């Protein structure tokens, strides 16, 4: 199941297209739901929780980043905490990434809450494949 986890960089990798990312997220959430209702919490719960937290941090970064840019194309990437030059990204693409993040966070938060609730009813040892 580990290879079905959503990569932490899924929302800012090309193609930067809201509809494409929306369906990518829906497919992942369906896998999370199936795992949770089958009482399989690892690595889904901790991975989804970390993914959501990373996206919340990225949203803060995006909002401050947007305040400091002009209408020119910019270079940016989220590789860890460092800013790495990559393919030029337009302001429109930055807006789309922000839209994707704002759309995704509440859905991921809901799954984390559900997973925590179900896990409290059926406790198991939690592990994250990345640990």
pTM value? 0.79
16 CB neighbour count, 10 Å cutoff: 19
Which of the pair, 16 or 129, is modelled with greater confidence? 16
Question: What pLDDT score was predicted for residue 126?
Answer: 84
Domain residue extents for the chain: 16-121
68-93 residue pLDDT tens: 664 444 555 555 544 554 555 567 88
Residue 37 has pLDDT above 50, yes or no: yes
3-state secondary structure 13-42: CCCCCHHHHHHHHHHHHHHHHHHHHCCCCC
């Amino acid at each position: 199941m580990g290879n079905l986890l959503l990569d932490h960089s899924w929302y800012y990798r090309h193609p930067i297209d809201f509809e494409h990312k929306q369906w990518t997220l829906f497919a992942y959430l369906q896998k999370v739901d199936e795992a949770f209702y089958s009482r399989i919490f690892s690595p889904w719960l901790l991975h989804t929780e970390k993914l959501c937290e990373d996206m919340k941090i990225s949203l803060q970064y995006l909002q401050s980043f947007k305040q400091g840019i002009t209408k020119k194309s910019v270079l940016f990437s989220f590789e860890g905490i460092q800013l790495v030059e990559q393919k030029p990204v337009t302001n429109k693409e930055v807006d789309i990434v922000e839209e994707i993040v704002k759309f995704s966070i509440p859905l991921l938060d809901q799954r984390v809450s559900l997973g925590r609730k179900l896990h409290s009813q059926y406790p198991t040892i939690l592990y994250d494949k990345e640990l």
